[in-house]
A and B are shown apart, each in its own frame.
Chain A
């Protein structure tokens, strides 16, 4: 443990916008070579945190290092060894795919640029379309191109801000395969996402809400920590039940997962009381289940603040 080296090791990271505290003194330590998921509702401070780590925003307080460099004073060095993929596609849509990659390679002053871009295009499978404008690519392809571009300089740290928002499932899966490929070469990845399946692919998860980290650990640890008790209710009569259960003592939240109703709370006795009237209904199947990560996240979001913003 003492030998473990951290790609990101910051404490008390704080950012204010006017009076609003966007990030409220958080600590993050990501060991080298791991893939960490960064979760939290919209506006919780994920993007702000990532931007502070790569020097795009000045932190109001906090100390620590990124890749061994002081993140507050050595952002130029950090930039050289970090790949940052923005939430919105931020490459030049009026440049071709090749021109974009070439531009990036030139800014980083990469040697044997031409061959490198060739290889990257080949690997991406965009060799045939290299002269197409980046703006003409579909969402999934834009994502892949952006990833290729921000890893062109072989960074040691990858910061990905909701990289798969609005991308189809197949492209998302390919994207994640690529992330794990990169991680296997020793790159550290911090990726923010709203997707549970993606969160489950991460080594560790950090959950942030209104600028504070409210949960962290592996998926199993986070579920364990939550102390949540969840019942599922299945059956044709389940649908109208949601409104009736919501607000009953002991019921913290009620959500549909497909046609299955999840009823969660902390107090087993109260939950049992709430569910008792429906146990006898032959059209309903009620059973206890291990809460899913999504249950836990909804719980975190409900108990920690703004809810959906």
Chain B
């Protein structure tokens, strides 16, 4: 009886495990932190019906109804009119570099044609790289404008208001006309997979030396923190490059994701992105005591990267605070760059607004890592 199953031994085992669990503060923090983080992110930040989407109104007709349309769009919770311009080129540019999700074109003679009963068209161009993001707003648009104009169409024009519809709304789904979700997800995966692997790769860089006892030796020899950091990061850039090539090949040949823009530009920005991630990982490794802790911290980076970057959930749908967190992370910018280059054919001018934040991030992370790096064993 005693030989087969012993409550005393089980309680001894339990006692030991509880003591060890209590000592492992970081794991305990994870057990509390991860659920809270997920609850808040899913509960508050994720919104499947994005509102306040940045909209540019391109005005080629300064006619009497333009102001009403503008006012209607502004009042709607779906649209935020960030700019009203009379330059269609500028409007298109803002759509390309991601500053706007929609361009509402009020064509020349719109007001005149409406008055004449000629059924003019409102042309709406939508950034369809993320097909889910804009669908609700687009569905609401015709009703919205119609309601607004009904107030204007009074007196002799009341007859126009009665006509349904007095105008047409023509929607162009730009960049992804078939609304293919894979075109959005697969390029996004490039950013997500790199985050997983690259941060992890360098997060164990110093902790491994520390665990094996070689860290002391490294410090006893004439090495400088920056030299050690560069030495740890550079080899992983090659690993990241190979991964990127692999993912992009699958994206192109298996999923048929279009690749409109420049491959060279994509490679260059991917290098910056990879290096920024490696710097994050390296910063973790200057803090973590062992490889286990490094892995746990990596997970802390990974979770918001997926949730708040616009990878799965529309970025514009998130509350402002969540967008700010998103803007800090390199993945958010890289996702815009990848989708922009592959699907929109963006060039250096359009992607620059997302490149410099990554560079800034890279330098900040690198500086923190070098400063965190202890040249002594204190």
Chain A bound to chain B: yes
Question: Which stretch from B59-67, B114-122, B152-160, B214-222 is at the chain A interface?
Answer: B214-222
Interface residues on B, range: 10 to 19
Contact of B222 (CB < 8 Å), options: A58, A89, A91, A107: A107
CA distance A80 to B220 in the complex (A): 9
CA distance A166 to B153 in the complex (A): 97
Q: Which single residue of chain A is at the shortest CB-CB distance from B219?
A: A56
A:52-98 near B, CB below 8 Å: 54-58, 76, 79-80, 82, 84, 86, 88-93
User: Within 8 Å of chain A (Cβ to Cβ): is B23?
Assistant: no
User: Within 8 Å of chain B (Cβ to Cβ): is A108?
Assistant: yes
Kindly supply a per-residue 1/0 record for chain A positions 103-128, scoring 1 wherever the CB is within 8 Å of any chain B CB and 0 otherwise. 01001100000000000000000000
Asked if residues A58 and B223 are in contact (CB atoms below 8 Å), the reply is: no
Contact of A90 (CB < 8 Å), options: B213, B375, B378: B213
How many pairs of residues, A versus B, come closer than 8 Å at their CB atoms?
45
Asked if residues B216 and A86 are in contact (CB atoms below 8 Å), the reply is: yes
Q: Chain B residues with Cβ under 8 A from A56's Cβ?
A: 216, 219-220, 376-377
Asked if residues B214 and A55 are in contact (CB atoms below 8 Å), the reply is: no
Interface residues on A, range: 20 to 34
Asked if residues A107 and B217 are in contact (CB atoms below 8 Å), the reply is: no
The smallest C-beta distance from A238 to any residue of chain B, in angstroms, reads: 42
Asked if residues A108 and B213 are in contact (CB atoms below 8 Å), the reply is: no
User: Within 8 Å of chain A (Cβ to Cβ): is B212?
Assistant: yes
Asked if residues A108 and B221 are in contact (CB atoms below 8 Å), the reply is: yes
B:203-245 near A, CB below 8 Å: 212-217, 219-223
Q: Chain B residues with Cβ under 8 A from A79's Cβ?
A: 220-222
Asked if residues A51 and B214 are in contact (CB atoms below 8 Å), the reply is: no
Q: Chain B residues with Cβ under 8 A from A92's Cβ?
A: 212, 214
Q: Which single residue of chain B is at the shortest CB-CB distance from A55?
A: B376
The smallest C-beta distance from A65 to any residue of chain B, in angstroms, reads: 18
With A86-B213, A90-B216 in contact, is A58–B221 under 8 Å at CB? no
CA distance A285 to B217 in the complex (A): 52
Asked if residues B212 and A84 are in contact (CB atoms below 8 Å), the reply is: no
The smallest C-beta distance from B205 to any residue of chain A, in angstroms, reads: 14
The smallest C-beta distance from B56 to any residue of chain A, in angstroms, reads: 57
With A56-B216, A86-B216, A92-B214 in contact, is A107–B376 under 8 Å at CB? no
CA distance A128 to B214 in the complex (A): 25
The smallest C-beta distance from A73 to any residue of chain B, in angstroms, reads: 13
Binding site for B on A (CB under 8 A): 51, 54-58, 76, 79-80, 82, 84, 86, 88-93, 104, 107-108
Pick 10 A–B contacts, CB within 8 A, sort by A.
A54-B220, A56-B377, A82-B220, A84-B220, A88-B213, A90-B216, A91-B214, A91-B217, A92-B214, A93-B212
